[in-house]
């Protein structure tokens, strides 16, 4: 293992694509996963916590602890996405009930305590779902904003509009108030929006490559994607389904595969038409301060090679 592995906490709502993002992180010798925090999102928080435990057991990483975080958004009515991910959130493979015990500590408190226990700039928080837990941590312990190295989040959209409403990406729409808190927190933030994830498609040849791999993690990933792609293929009519959350870990491992720019991003917290929409000042036409690295492009072939190569390392 490299001596200077990047320490990360994964905040997640698994989700088939969350599961594959977690697998990618577990397979990398350059990342040290300090813990996984679940959040309500694709399915309720109890199920996302169970799903996180299942992924760790599948990958034989029982050393990593799982903490349940917030059970609902800060203010808005909760929404879920079983219509995409199935009732379990990870429909596809048949995975046994996990034997890993969920930690008693609340996920928000784990975030705060872990960030405070490490030197400033030591920890990256990766959010794969709504930003509820990170926002709650910032409200409860504002000092952690100065201690986090960065946050890397799947969320938002510019040219790709929305995937849950005409104007909003799911994670932003699921808790826009939380996203607003994080965007205003001054934490160095990188956003992987739909603009990027809609370029990273699981095409039939890529899915066939996964299915040909011998490891049970790769087989489970293929089964998950074989389930979730049905919704997206019908919705978009593309030659593959977008793979959202692994883009976050992909950027941490190979940032040269991505491009974007430093901009101001704001989120609409209310409104019947625009709730959860992200206003991206791409051309710097306002005087709003830069608060995010907003990525727009990805080398899809390069990222797929990275992902497939890492999944091949897992059991």
Instruction: Please spell the DSSP secondary structure of 67-109, one letter per residue.
Output: EE--SS-SSSPP---HHHH-TTSS-SS--PPP-SPPBSS-HHH
pLDDT of residue 3: 73
Beta strand 292-298 pairing with 258-263: antiparallel
pLDDT of residue 94: 94
Structure tokens at 210: 């996964």
CA proximity to 40, closest of 72, 64, 67 = 72
pLDDT of residue 234: 84
Catalytic residue among 85, 198, 244, 310: 244
If the chain, 315 residues long, is cut into consecutive pieces of 10 residues, what is the mean pLDDT of each piece?
Answer: 89 97 98 98 96 98 98 97 91 95 98 98 98 98 98 98 96 98 98 98 96 97 91 87 97 98 98 96 97 98 98 97
Query: What whole-number distance in Å separates Cα of residue 43 and Cα of residue 90?
Result: 9
Please tell me what DSSP assigns to residue 273. T
pLDDT of residue 235: 85
Please state whether the predicted TM-score (pTM) of the whole model is above 0.85. yes
Query: What whole-number distance in Å separates Cα of residue 142 and Cα of residue 261?
Result: 27
* C-alpha distances in Å from residue 270, one per residue of 164, 187, 274, 284, 299: 15, 23, 7, 24, 35
pLDDT of residue 185: 98
Other Cβ atoms less than 10 A from the Cβ of 105: the count is: 13
Query: What whole-number distance in Å separates Cα of residue 132 and Cα of residue 74?
Result: 7
Other Cβ atoms less than 10 A from the Cβ of 46: the count is: 13
Say what angle helices 246-253 and 300-311 make with each other, to 10 degrees: 90
* C-alpha distances in Å from residue 266, one per residue of 2, 30, 135, 280: 37, 32, 15, 7
Query: What whole-number distance in Å separates Cα of residue 156 and Cα of residue 24?
Result: 22
C-alpha distance across the termini of the chain, in Å: 18
CB 283 within 8 A of CB 28: no
Instruction: Please spell the DSSP secondary structure of 131-145, one letter per residue.
Output: SHHHHHHHHH-GGGG
CA of residue 299 relative to chain centroid, distance: 19
Give CATH superfamily name and number for 6-198+243-301.
Ribonucleoside hydrolase-like (3.90.245.10)
Q: Active site includes 244? A: yes
- Using CB atoms within 10 A of its CB, is residue 75 exposed (0-12), middle (13-18) or buried (19+)? exposed
CA proximity to 103, closest of 37, 30, 18 = 37
Going 73 to 77 to 83 to 87, the CA torsion angle's sign is positive
Query: What whole-number distance in Å separates Cα of residue 215 and Cα of residue 206?
Result: 16
């Amino acid at each position: 293992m490299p001596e200077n592995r990047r320490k990360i906490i994964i905040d997640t709502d698994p989700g088939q694509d969350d599961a594959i993002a977690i697998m990618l992180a577990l397979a990398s010798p350059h990342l040290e996963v300090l813990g996984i925090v679940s959040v309500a999102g694709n399915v309720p928080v109890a199920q996302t916590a169970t799903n996180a435990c299942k992924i760790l057991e599948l990958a034989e990483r029982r050393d990593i602890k799982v903490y349940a975080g917030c059970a609902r958004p800060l203010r808005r009515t909760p929404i879920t996405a079983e219509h995409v991910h199935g009732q379990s959130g990870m429909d596809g493979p048949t995975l046994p009930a996990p034997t890993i015990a969920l930690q008693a500590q609340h996920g928000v408190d784990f975030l705060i305590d872990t960030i405070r226990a490490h030197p400033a700039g030591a920890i990256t928080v990766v959010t794969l779902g709504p930003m509820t837990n990170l926002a709650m941590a910032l409200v409860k312990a504002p000092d952690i904003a100065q201690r986090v190295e960065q946050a890397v989040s799947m969320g938002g959209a510019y040219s790709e509009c929305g995937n849950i409403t005409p104007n909003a990406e799911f994670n932003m729409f699921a808790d826009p108030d939380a996203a607003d808190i994080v965007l205003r927190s001054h934490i160095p933030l990188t956003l992987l929006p739909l603009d990027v994830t809609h370029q990273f498609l699981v095409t039939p040849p890529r899915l066939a490559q996964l299915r040909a791999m011998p490891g049970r993690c790769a087989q489970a990933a293929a089964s998950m994607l074989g389930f979730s792609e049905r919704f997206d293929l019908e919705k978009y009519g593309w030659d593959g389904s977008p793979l959202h959350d692994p883009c976050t870990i992909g950027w941490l491992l190979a940032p040269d595969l991505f491009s974007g720019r430093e901009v101001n991003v704001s989120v609409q917290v209310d409104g019947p038409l625009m709730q959860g929409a992200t206003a991206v000042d791409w051309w710097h036409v306002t005087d709003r301060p830069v608060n995010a690295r907003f990525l727009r492009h990805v080398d899809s072939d390069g990222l797929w090679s990275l992902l497939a190569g890492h999944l091949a390392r897992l059991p």
